[in-house]
Amino acid sequence: MSKTKQNPSPGRLGVWLFGAYGGLATTLVVGTRAIARGLAEPRGLATELPIAVGIPWQGLADIVFGGHEIRTGDYVSAAAEIHAKTGTLAPSLVHALRKDLAAASKNVVAGVMPNAGRTIESLADRKPKAATSLRAQVEQIQRDIRAWQRQHRLDRVVCVNLTSTEPQLKMTAAHRSLAAFEKALDKNDVRAVRPSAIYAYVAATLGLPFVHFTPSDSALVPAIQEAFAKSNTPWMGRDGKTGETLVKSALAPMFKYRNLRVLSWQGYNILGDRDGRVLANAANKKTKVATKDALLPSILGYPLHTHVGIDYVPSLHDLKTAWDFVHFEGFLGFKMSLQFIWQGCDAILAAPLVLDLVRFADLAKRRGEVGSMPHLACFFKQPIGVAEHDLHHQWQMLVGYLERVRSERAR
């Protein structure tokens, strides 16, 4: 059924998830197994499109998941909870995969969360492993990943950060160089880190490709980018582009082409679930909104009135709804409007992106690429190091990369 069977899979790949029992991670694990077993189409995966044919992608059947989590649980019950809320992850499918999911659940261990902020801390019900210092926490995670890799005889590992949005980190001298950051770790300066910084640092020290799928700004500070460079490791972030922002970046160029002046672009997102609850907290929301707001002036080429609202509506759970109102001016200054309403399930939209990113990150590592992966810009709300937000240009960047890979292989 899946095109993934066309290529001989290049060995066994481990995918380590920070935030392993969240809605997105659970959907990812269930979905990957479902596709691997031929129980679902590989819908949503760019790496299964015609443009991606001929690339030696990791086969989905040979992916092994593991990860850290601050809440207790297992994939079968997490999936049941998700189904009750959003209707995704049908019980019959989960039942068919129950053995795979039980096996995956065994690979989830207690996470650490230094300085996560109160909102996230309140979600934790799993005692973090005894870790008296940041250094000890770093080493604990390193040991967890290496032990799991050995246990499952994994040829390669990719790390993915799927944890909740953290409050913004105050940038200081400690984040400007690897040496300064490591000194802060040595001094156990907890205020200098957020959990995501620790996760990214661990990946860098182990030389594992890192996909930073959340908006948290601590993960990819210069100090950590330096650590990735030092270990010759590819990475990319941040904040998966799934819903309203995706539509925005697809539509905004149209106004540019037609020389229609956008006067105001108001966007309102409503969502429930853990994600919504975390974002209802002002400090965490600020991080998120920041990654959503730069896009329009960048595409359109002029400053304009924009607003990005995010509100918590518990009854929606993960069925995110967004209303955007675009007010624009045309010939002779006449004002007109375009509105759109997006109704999607965030985990369903994000999970295939994560799978795509894992495959791309793994490919980059095998190809010896180091540092940020700008060709993956189309997957992120704030593609670090890429000024381009136009979805269609970003797509051309991806297509161009695939063509280069293919032509290099053909030689």
Within a 10 A sphere around the Cβ of 179, how many other Cβ atoms? Answer: 11
**371, β-bridge pairs:** 234
Residue 290 interacts with its own copies (CB under 8 A): yes or no:
no
Q: At what angle do helices 178-186 and 134-151 cross, to 10 degrees?
A: 100
CA 168, CA 214: separation in Å to the nearest integer? 12
Task: Closer to its own copies by CB, 45 or 101: give it.
Answer: 45
Residue 311 interacts with its own copies (CB under 8 A): yes or no:
yes
Contact partners, residue 9, CB within 8 Å, separation at least 6:
58, 59, 61, 62
Residue 49 interacts with its own copies (CB under 8 A): yes or no:
yes
Residue 42 interacts with its own copies (CB under 8 A): yes or no:
yes
Stretch binding its own copies (CB under 8 A), from 140-148, 180-188, 282-290, 304-312 = 304-312
Residue 30 interacts with its own copies (CB under 8 A): yes or no:
yes
Q: Site map for its own copies, 165-204, x if CB under 8 A? A: ----------------------------------------
Stretch binding its own copies (CB under 8 A), from 23-31, 70-78, 101-109, 117-125 = 23-31
Smallest distance from its own copies to CB 323, Å = 5
Residue 38 interacts with its own copies (CB under 8 A): yes or no:
no
Smallest distance from its own copies to CB 169, Å = 27
Smallest distance from its own copies to CB 209, Å = 22
Smallest distance from its own copies to CB 90, Å = 8
- Helix, strand, or coil here: 260? coil
- Helix (H) and strand (E) counts in the chain: 15, 11
**109, β-bridge pairs:** 68
Smallest distance from its own copies to CB 180, Å = 39
Contact partners, residue 47, CB within 8 Å, separation at least 6:
55, 57, 355, 356, 359, 360
Residue 392 interacts with its own copies (CB under 8 A): yes or no:
yes
Which residues ranging from 346 to 385 are in contact with its own copies (CB under 8 A)?
Answer: 348-349, 351-352, 378
Task: Closer to its own copies by CB, 198 or 310: give it.
Answer: 310
CA 22, CA 27: separation in Å to the nearest integer? 8
Stretch binding its own copies (CB under 8 A), from 111-119, 176-184, 196-204, 311-319 = 311-319
Task: Closer to its own copies by CB, 61 or 313: give it.
Answer: 313
What Cα–Cα distance (Å) separates residue 337 from each residue in 233, 262, 269, 303?
Answer: 46, 9, 19, 18
Residue 391 interacts with its own copies (CB under 8 A): yes or no:
yes
Phi, psi of 98 (to 5 degrees): -60, -35
Residue 302 interacts with its own copies (CB under 8 A): yes or no:
no
Residue 92 interacts with its own copies (CB under 8 A): yes or no:
yes
CA 76, CA 188: separation in Å to the nearest integer? 37
Residue 267's nearest CA partner among 298, 240, 292 is 292
Residue type (1 letter), 274: R
Which residues ranging from 202 to 221 are in contact with its own copies (CB under 8 A)?
Answer: none
Which residues ranging from 257 to 286 are in contact with its own copies (CB under 8 A)?
Answer: 257-261, 263-264, 266, 268, 270
Which string of DSSP letters, residue by residue, matches 137-160? HHHHHHHHHHHHHHHTT-SEEEEE
8 Å CB contact between 296 and 248? yes
Residue 93 interacts with its own copies (CB under 8 A): yes or no:
yes
The residue within the footprint of its own copies, chosen from 43, 99, 106, 191 (CB under 8 A), is 43
Q: Site map for its own copies, 319-348, x if CB under 8 A? A: --x-x-x-x-xxxxxxxxxxxxxxxxx--x
Residue 3 interacts with its own copies (CB under 8 A): yes or no:
no
8 Å CB contact between 314 and 268? no
Q: How many residues bind its own copies (CB under 8 A)?
A: 75
